[in-house]
Amino acid sequence: MTLPLPLVARGKVRDVYEVGADHLLLVATDRLSAYDVVLPTAVPDKGAVLTGLSVWWFEQLADLLPNHLVSARVQDLPGVLQPHADELRGRTMLCRRLDMVPVECVARGYLTGSGLADYRATGGIVGQPLPSGLEDGSRLPAPVFTPATKAAVGDHDENVSFAAVEQTVGAELAEQLRRLTLAVYGRGASLAAERGLLLADTKLELGHDGDGVLTLGDEVLTPDSSRYWPADAWSPGRAQPSFDKQYVRDWLDGTGWDRTAPGPELPEDVVERTRAKYVEAYERLTGSGFDSWLREG
């Protein structure tokens, strides 16, 4: 998709355009990445799921902290974009520009992923000790803040200690990041539990607005930034079924792919099942049909 606006950045999933001095247009594409490689096969409607869920979560979190969203409705976009309305519908957010904090804000309530690898190597996560005997998928005694560095496209985020965050952004801001990240995780986990889902972990992007207010940016509590597990299938000691691209990772692991670009094309059945997982996550969390979001966007 090519739009008549200056392109600021092209990430693994989102294209970011400049809309004047104070706003950005975030377009969530259907691109799919795995192991930090953007795969050659897209997943239809994935970008709209990410956008619709972010908009819904921004509303659920509004009392905890402000967010950068101005509008996700195509009729509110600048006139120069109206000829592209059908392409942009449901997958676009007009947002306030933020001065982003150079830290990936991660909260974990369950042990999995890089946190599990760190625990197996050290008995904790980024220097935070945990009880012995935990397994893949174990619930942690309490949610933990495990920040990471922000990596360029194609590189891996690296978990860092809280002390390293303090050195990077200062003690006061580091504590704000920890407090708000855990508050967002707590709200997300509570609402997900009401819908039969466990929120294993999540990653946030925070930045300061023009008045210096710490603000939630990018996406929030989507299947791309979070791990959701069905509560009725949770069983520590193994990998958990999830509402994200884990099905794709599992398929890729069986191909012998060496995790270098461009990656293999995905079969049609893998694409369809992955799309279904994303749409199911949207509908279970919001309680609304995905088609209704496409009509509203």
Answer yes or no: is 113 within a domain: yes
CA atoms within 13 Å, Cβ hemisphere of 100: 13
Confidence at 297, pLDDT banded by 50, 70, 90 = low
Answer yes or no: is 14 within a domain: no
**Model confidence at 155: pLDDT above 70:** no
Burial (Cβ within 10 Å: 0-12, 13-18, ≥19) of residue 175: middle
Provide the residue range defining the domain that includes 162. Answer: 100-246
pLDDT digits (tens, 9 = 90+) for 164-189: 999 999 999 999 999 999 999 999 99
Answer yes or no: is 148 within a domain: yes
Number of neighbours of residue 12 by Cβ within 10 angstroms: 16
pLDDT digits (tens, 9 = 90+) for 185-223: 999 999 999 999 999 999 999 999 999 999 999 999 999
Q: What is the CATH number of the domain that holds 176?
A: 3.30.470.20
Answer yes or no: is 270 within a domain: no
Answer yes or no: is 203 within a domain: yes
Answer yes or no: is 13 within a domain: no
- Under 8 Å between Cβ of 46 and 275: yes
Q: How many domains does the chain have?
A: 1
Alpha helices in 21-155 (DSSP H): 46-60, 85-88, 113-122
Give the 3-state secondary structure of residue 154. Answer: coil
Answer yes or no: is 260 within a domain: no
Answer yes or no: is 295 within a domain: no
The CA-based dihedral angle spanning residues 264, 266, 270, 276, taken in that order and rounded to the nearest 10 degrees: 120
The pLDDT of residue 294: 87
The pLDDT of residue 152: 56
pLDDT digits (tens, 9 = 90+) for 19-60: 999 999 999 999 999 988 999 999 999 999 999 999 999 999
**SS3 letters for 167-208?**
HHHCHHHHHHHHHHHHHHHHHHHHHHHHCCEEEEEEEEEEEE
* Bridge pairing between strands 7-10 and 14-19: antiparallel
